[in-house]
Chains A and B, each alone.
Chain A
């Protein structure tokens, strides 16, 4: 009972904190934290795929680009309500994720990494090809640009919904199927888990989360959709966020999102790191150090601390 209660209390406290935070934040910081919410959604989606299903993707920036351009195009040409574009990009990127997931069924390991990397590099080129409608490298803008408070509220509401959806999806039958595929595809298939269905589903859901994050990403960058916002570096940052967070942990996702979202801001205050691309240096160093020292990311570290504190109560010496 106690073990179920603690996470619930934590979630509730976190939700209240996030809901009240805008009251105490300056307008600029609201925008900044809206960014964190956007990364939270994207990294959550990536974690479902990489951490829970064991399928690597270096291409989630591409899905963010598709989602982002969906919002920009619909708002620019059809003056669609910005909120209404979110379910639309969810649906479109879900379909795109399924489409990518189908060939991805045949790739394993490095081949999947290669294919998704190629996706991340080539999708941002497409708006340049059809620049008549997308504004080319100059980008295009949504019809309206919302305030930072609006952005904060919408991105964290979406983040909460996404978290709840991910939790519901992963706790039951589907989540078990995902994890069994991650641990051993062969054992999963032998136990009657349909690899084609669950792998493509994981790709679809994961891409859809990234798509919504992409829509919000365009909104938090003043409603501008530009190819150079969605370079391969974005995909790499998401993967790094997921790795720092701890693959296969919903809890770590918040840490990963804060890391990716706030590091650029934080590093301008630090003397060496602030100039030029010092943040990339920190990104790279931290992820390498984390992978070398903390294979399970921040979440793994917390879990290890937790189990050390609770070890005498939880574990039975005779059993171990």
Chain B
């Protein structure tokens, strides 16, 4: 079974092509040199990476679900928002922040599994339109439930990382940005380890890539897909919890993040986990730098710019940075 899966893995692994990798290295060098030259540039880059890490978590959640069940979950952001409210409720009950954080991740996992089992599985083989409408219904349902329970006004949670600012050679980094970056990247790495080095991860990859063959070698495909939805909800919860320190808690907090995550996922090729992470970081940095250095691109234009990025990628390189060429059989 292992040999079989490894062979498959090499065949479908979605690494970037050489020009793409060279381009990424060039971009990284550009950012590094720019950061050494200008303090503001360095500050904006780090802040952009922190925001980008949040986009990357949510984008990775979307990609996980898309790979496993070919569903774009429009409710992903709202699920993340709802789980953040659960964490908020826990802190109201005097649970310490980090305990609430991990409890919320567990709750998010079960939420994801339940959503898959109750809502998605019965319609999984219907048309794309039906699936999109279902997740849109979920979007509104969750939005309504949260607003009904907690109201639409801003809520505040204890700050997880404190408000310190570090100074390194004239450049100041906020501890919060660094913490957000660290937590998001750590969760992505943990997930990668799970998928790459455990039997469960192997079974989940098999269930997503070749459901019929996986079922034949004894993988319980339905359960694997449900766990995939659960893990995606966990990643979403991380994204939501890491959004809270800068945006505070409100029912609409993840709607714009969802758009950035879509743009990130598409930039990465929609099927590539690594691509979605790179795409998320790239979009975070890009939005920050363009906001800093192009006077026209004010805060109101961040969403339209993300839309343009998404459109340009879809028009000129629909497979994204890390995607495979799709050949359709007719």
Q: How large is the interface on B (under 10, 10 to 19, 20 to 34, 35 or more residues)?
A: 35 or more
In angstroms, Cα B137 to Cα A284, docked, is 4
Write out, one digit per residue, whether chain A residues 174-204 have a CB within 8 A of any chain B CB (1) or not (0). Answer: 0000000000001000000000000000000
- CB contact under 8 A between A109 and B151, given known A58-B74, A118-B259: no
Q: How distant is B58 from chain A, measured CB to nearest CB, in Å?
A: 14
Instruction: Identify B136's interface contact among A106, A123, A128, A236, CB under 8 A.
Output: A236
Q: Which residues of B contact A103 (CB under 8 A)?
A: 311, 314-315
CB-CB under 8 A from A231, the residues of chain B are 252
Partner of B307, one of A109, A119, A233, A239: A119
Instruction: Count contacts on A: residues with CB < 8 A to the other chain.
Output: 49
The stretch that binds B, out of A7-15, A144-152, A271-279, is A271-279
Whether A288 is near chain B, meaning CB under 8 Å from some CB there, is: yes
Nearest chain B CB to A139 CB, angstrom units:
15
B137 x A291 contact (CB < 8 A): yes
Chain A residues, CB < 8 A from B130 = 291, 295
- Is A303 among interface residues, defined by CB-CB distance under 8 A? no
Q: Is there a chain A Cβ closer than 8 Å to B145's Cβ?
A: yes
Total number of residue pairs linking A and B with CB closer than 8 Å: 152
CB–CB B306/A118 < 8 A: yes
Measured CB to CB, the closest approach of chain B to A24, in angstroms, equals: 33
A248 to B311, CA, bound (A): 28
The distance in angstroms between the C-alpha atoms of A240 and B134, with both chains bound, is 9
In the complex, are the beta carbons of A292 and B123 less than 8 A apart? yes
Interface SS majority for chain B: helix
Type the 1/0 row for B281-302, where 1 means its CB is closer than 8 Å to any CB of A: 0000000000000000010111
Contact A118 B310 (CB under 8 A): yes
Q: Using an 8 Å CB-CB cutoff, how does the interface string of A86-123 with B read, 1 for contact, 0 for none?
A: 00000000000000000100110111011101110111
A278 to B146, CA, bound (A): 10
A297 to chain B, nearest CB (A): 10
**B75 to chain A: closest residue by CB:** A284
Chain A residues closer than 8 Å to B147, beta-carbon distance: 276-277, 280
Known: A186-B330, A281-B141, A291-B137. A125 touches B300 (CB 8 A): yes
Q: Complex formed: what's the CA distance from A91 to B258 in Å?
A: 32
Also in contact, A287 and B263, with CB within 8 A (given A247-B129, A276-B147): no
Q: Give 7 pairs: A residue, B residue, CB < 8 Å, sorted on A.
A: A50-B129, A113-B132, A118-B307, A126-B300, A233-B143, A240-B140, A277-B147
Q: What residues of chain B have their CB less than 8 Å away from a CB belonging to chain A?
A: 66, 70, 72, 74, 119, 122-123, 126, 128-130, 132-134, 136-145, 147-148, 151-152, 252, 255-256, 258-259, 262-263, 266, 270, 298, 300-304, 306-307, 310-311, 314-315, 318, 330
A interface residues with partner B (beta carbon < 8 Å): 50, 54, 56, 58, 103, 106-107, 109-111, 113-115, 117-119, 121-123, 125-126, 128-129, 186, 231-233, 236-237, 239-240, 243, 247, 275-285, 287-288, 291-292, 295
